[in-house]
Structure formats: structure tokens, C-alpha cells
Amino acid sequence: KAGVTQTPRYLIKTRGQQVTLSCSPISGHRSVSWYQQTPGQGLQFLFEYFSETQRNKGNFPGRFSGRQFSNSRSEMNVSTLELGDSALYLCASSTFDNTDTQYFGPGTRLTVL
Amino acid sequence: GENVEQHPSTLSVQEGDSAVIKCTYSDSASNYFPWYKQELGKGPQLIIDIRSNVGEKKDQRIAVTLNKTAKHFSLHITETQPEDSAVYFCAASKTSGTYKYIFGTGTRLKVLA
């Protein structure tokens, strides 16, 4: 099976712009979670989607949003970018069969100038 | 709030020696504890996991132990090899119908040849 794929892999934006990141989960996986990884804060949970519904959300401002499509693919959007949004954004998928195991994609490296 | 402490932050060992990384979690309801290895430029890769009904699990050179009473869990790597050099993250989660990992801050392991 192909793993979790994320596009684009690298992105450079300027402050005030918005950005959309995409994640395709492993085939058959219905849960998609997003994490932000920075050197200072480590890996922090953004939100999780299952069957097109957001089931859980981390402590991030409303500028961070996401959605999931009927084919389980997910997108996250960050509006009004700030310098502090520069990070590696990771997507993880899971089958939701109570095994709790999440499999991560390679991430999208976002740089905000 | 939910928290996972991970120590040490950096660890250098000679090739062939053992490495131990320790984590402590705060939420006593946590019942699933995965360990991830992250190499430069890649997303975290699951290397081993353990559930709260098990005290120890082993997979070749890698083992994880769990002490529920003390809320501690540890990763043990024996006969370390240069390719074990990476950043290792522990995480804790609870089976609650949603996937949200609380990650430790990471341990950079260097295996010296």
C-alpha cells in the first residue's frame, strides 16, 4: 500500500497570505490528523477528521482550519499567515479500528517570510 | 493539562551499546503509547507501540516497557547501529473515539561508529 502523501512538500509564503495543504491518507484509512512541528514547540496536535467531521481540535487559533472529503483526503488551511506559522505540517492517517496507530506522511515544510 | 515529558533530549552512545529513552505521562486515562523515529527530512515512522494492558513488548533490538502505576514508559535499543541515529518521539493517547497524540519533546540519538 502507498503511504500517506502530502502536497506540496515545500512552500514559501509571505506574512498575511493564506495557504492550503493537502493530505491523502493510506487507502482504507478514514481518520486524518494534522500536527504542527517546530523546534521550539515540538509536535502539536492541530485537529482530527473522521468521515468528513472534525472530532477533535487542538489549541490553535481560528486561522487554522481543515476539512475532509468523502474520499478521506484532507486539507488544512492557514489564513493571515504569521512568521510563527513557519513549521513542518504533518498529516497522519489511521483506520479507526481501535488500534489507535497513526501513520505519518513526510510533511509539508512551510516557510513564512 | 495533558503532558508527556521525555528525557534525555540528546543521547550519544557508541556503536554496539544500548540506548534508553524515558517518558512520563500525566493523563492516567492514557492507554496507548507509540514510539516514533524521525530522520532528517522525513515524517515520524512508527517503530514500536505498547498498550496499557501489557508491561513489555519487544521487536528484535527494540523493546518498550510500561509502568502504569508510575506513569512511565521507556524505549530500549540494544546493539545500536549508526542507522539508529535519528530523533525519537514518545507519545501517549487514550482510546476515546478520536485520535489525539500528546508527544514528548524528542530525543536526538547519535550512535558513534
Q: What is the DSSP track for chain B?
A: ---EEEE-SEEEEETTS-EEEEEEES-TT--EEEEEEE-TTS--EEEEEEETT-SEEEETTEEEEEETTTTEEEEEE-S--GGG-EEEEEEEB--SSS--PEE---EEEEEE-
pLDDT at site B100 = 78
Tell me which DSSP letter residue A85 carries.
Answer: G
Tell me whether B23 touches chain A (CB under 8 Å). Answer: no
In chain B, which stretches have pLDDT less than 70?
Answer: 1, 96-99
Question: Can you give the pLDDT at residue A40?
Answer: 83
pLDDT for B1 = 66
Burial class of residue A53 in the structure, from the number of CB atoms within 10 Å of its CB (0-12 exposed, 13-18 middle, 19+ buried): exposed
Residue partners of B100: CB distance under 8 A and separation at least 6: A33, A45, A48, A56, A58, B93
Query: How many residues does the structure list for chain A?
Result: 113
Q: What torsion do the CA atoms of B65, B69, B51, B9 make, to the nearest 10 degrees? A: -50
**Cell numbers 482510546 label which residue?**
B95
For residues A7 and A108, the answer to whether their CB atoms sit within 8 Å is yes
B87 touches chain A (CB under 8 A): no
Identify any residues that bridge with A63 across adjacent strands, giving them in sequence order. Answer: none
| Residue whose C-alpha is closest to residue A112's, from A44, A45, A21, A16 | A16
Chain B residues in contact with A92 (beta carbon < 8 A)? 99
Per-position DSSP letters for A17-79, written without gaps between them: --EEEEEEPPTT--EEEEEEEETTTEEEEEEEEETTEEEEE-S--TTEEEEE-TTS-EEEEE-
Q: Note the pLDDT of residue B101.
A: 86
The answer, for B9 touching chain A at a CB cutoff of 8 Å, is no
Distance (Å) from the alpha carbon of A14 to chain B's nearest alpha carbon: 23
Which three three-digit cell numbers place residue A103? 501513520
What is the residue-level pLDDT of chain A in tens, covering all 113 positions?
689 999 999 999 999 999 999 999 999 998 999 999 998 888 999 999 988 999 889 999 999 999 999 999 999 999 999 999 999 999 999 886 656 688 999 999 999 99
Q: Are the beta carbons of B46 and A94 separated by less than 8 Å?
A: no
Nearest to B77 by CA among A106, B68, B86, B69: B86
pLDDT of residue B91: 94
